[in-house]
């Protein structure tokens, strides 16, 4: 029996299987609003057969967007536009849908990837980013504005308000983005956090604001919503954030009511040197799972069904997440179920495509 396709209790919800569609930025939200692209994009992924779908990194304020076309949830109008998309998707898909709440910090105000990914000036439609310290991501970029205590309070409130909107949208839960060199990760790493107040210096101080934000989000969500966090387990730079720090962070998060840790890595510094290979981040998920005693999601070049099966069956992680692989093949869970002799959900309109040699691949509607 496939472990990958067994149910898993994630906080207050039980997922039908252990495959997660990871959040993936689409850079297709004019003024932060979800629209027709998201109906098509999320619609494909919602019938993938995965156990959970996480909507892309969603900015909690306008200045927190990576690009001017990032998705946002900082106003009632943004909530309304996303609700229209969700209404269309939910009409034909029962998959639990969560959302990743984020702030880009010093990595904000850049062009879309297919338009060069360069930092945008205010004259080009960009803005001066906020950050823990006035340290740009790359030399030659504009110096970000150092957040004062009033700014920290504003951002804490923005994360909490966005979480309340996620709850109003009846989303299954929220994932706080604390990875890939964005704002909360910038507070964690000594490479980007040069503060001398209570939010900088020691590990305890550098974790203080991210934990404050997480606590505010936990308070804003009812207990029937999943709450997790994505972190970068290491900066892949000497003297930066590392796996030992991540374990300590995960223990603090668990004490605050975190349901899972989504374990990625890198993104904070252009000096990173990442040994990319299949499953290269899985050992980080395994260590956090063991030492912090919290469910983990493994991600990163997980492409083959048996590879994913082995990860969960051997206890290296509780779940696996796919991102680019799911874009390339939005039916990856169907193919994985076929390869592993398991069952998966499919919409009634597609039941006729079930392979003749896999007559029990698709779970009966309503089961």
**Full residue range of the structural domain in which residue 178 is found:** 8-353
Q: Which are the contacts of 266, defined by CB distance < 8 A and separation ≥ 6?
A: 180, 181, 232, 234, 235, 236, 272, 274
For residue 348, give the CATH number of its domain. 3.20.20.70
Domain assignment of residue 88, yes or no:
yes
For residue 99, list its beta bridge partners: 55, 174
Task: Please state the domain count of the chain.
Answer: 1
pTM: 0.96
The alpha carbon dihedral of 39, 41, 46, 47 has a sign of positive
Measured CA to CA, the distance from residue 349 to residue 14 in angstroms comes to: 26
pLDDT tens column, 160-179? 999 999 999 999 999 999 99
- Own/partner pairs for 81-84, CB < 8 Å, 24+ apart? 81/33, 81/34, 81/35, 82/33, 82/34, 82/38, 82/55, 82/169, 83/169, 84/34
Q: Looking at residues 141-164, what average pLDDT do you find?
A: 97
Closest CA to 171 of 224, 207, 125: 224
The verdict on residue 3 lying in a domain is: no
Whether residue 363 is contained in a domain is answered as no
Q: How far apart are CA 60 and CA 104, in angstroms?
A: 10
Q: Is residue 328 among the annotated active site residues?
A: no
In a domain, 361, yes or no: no
Query: Does 362 map to a domain?
Result: no
233 Cα distance to chain centroid = 14
pLDDT at 367: 60
pLDDT at 79 over 80: yes
C-alpha atoms less than 13 angstroms from C-alpha of 160 in its C-beta half-sphere? 14
Q: Is 84 inside a domain boundary?
A: yes
Distance, in Å, from the CA atom of 312 to the CA atom of 5, rounded to the nearest integer, reads: 10
- 187 within domain boundaries: yes
Q: Each residue of 287-323: pLDDT tens digit?
A: 999 999 999 999 999 999 999 999 999 999 999 999 9
Catalytic residue among 182, 199, 249, 260: 182
Beta bridge partners of 344: 362
- Rounded to whole angstroms, the Cα distance separating 226 from 175 reads 8
* Domain-embedded: residue 316: yes
């Amino acid at each position: 029996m496939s472990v990958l396709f067994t149910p898993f209790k994630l906080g207050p919800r039980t997922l039908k299987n252990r495959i997660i569609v990871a959040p993936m930025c689409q850079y297709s939200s004019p003024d932060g609003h979800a629209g027709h692209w998201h109906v098509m994009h999320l619609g494909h992924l919602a019938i993938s057969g995965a156990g959970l779908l996480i909507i892309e990194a969603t900015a909690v304020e306008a200045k927190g967007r990576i690009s001017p076309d990032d998705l946002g949830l900082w106003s009632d109008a943004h909530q309304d536009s996303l609700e229209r998309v969700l209404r269309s998707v939910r009409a034909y898909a029962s998959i639990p849908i969560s959302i990743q709440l984020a702030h880009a910090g010093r990595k904000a105000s850049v062009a879309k990837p297919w338009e060069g990914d360069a930092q945008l000036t205010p004259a080009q439609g960009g803005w001066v980013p906020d950050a823990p310290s006035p340290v740009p991501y790359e030399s030659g970029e504009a110096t970000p504005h150092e957040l004062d205590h009033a700014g920290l309070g504003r951002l804490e409130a923005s994360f909490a308000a966005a979480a309340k909107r996620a709850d109003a949208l009846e989303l299954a839960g929220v994932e706080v983005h604390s990875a890939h060199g964005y704002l909360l990760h910038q507070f964690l790493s000594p490479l980007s956090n040069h503060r001398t107040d209570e939010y900088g210096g020691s590990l305890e101080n550098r974790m203080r604001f991210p934990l404050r934000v997480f606590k505010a989000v936990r308070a804003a969500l009812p207990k029937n919503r999943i709450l997790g966090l994505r972190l970068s387990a290491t900066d892949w730079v000497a003297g930066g954030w590392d796996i030992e720090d991540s374990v300590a962070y995960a223990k603090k998060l668990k004490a605050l009511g975190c349901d899972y840790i989504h374990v990625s890595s890198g993104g904070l510094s252009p000096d990173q040197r990442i040994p990319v290979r299949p499953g290269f981040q899985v050992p980080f998920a395994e260590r956090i799972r063991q030492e912090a005693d919290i469910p983990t999601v493994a991600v990163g070049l997980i492409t083959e069904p048996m590879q994913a099966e082995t990860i969960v069956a051997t206890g290296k992680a509780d779940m696996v997440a796919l991102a680019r692989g799911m874009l390339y093949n939005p039916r990856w869970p169907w193919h994985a179920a076929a390869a592993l002799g398991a069952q998966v959900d499919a919409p009634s309109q597609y039941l006729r495509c079930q392979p003749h040699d896999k007559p029990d691949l698709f779970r009966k509607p309503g089961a």
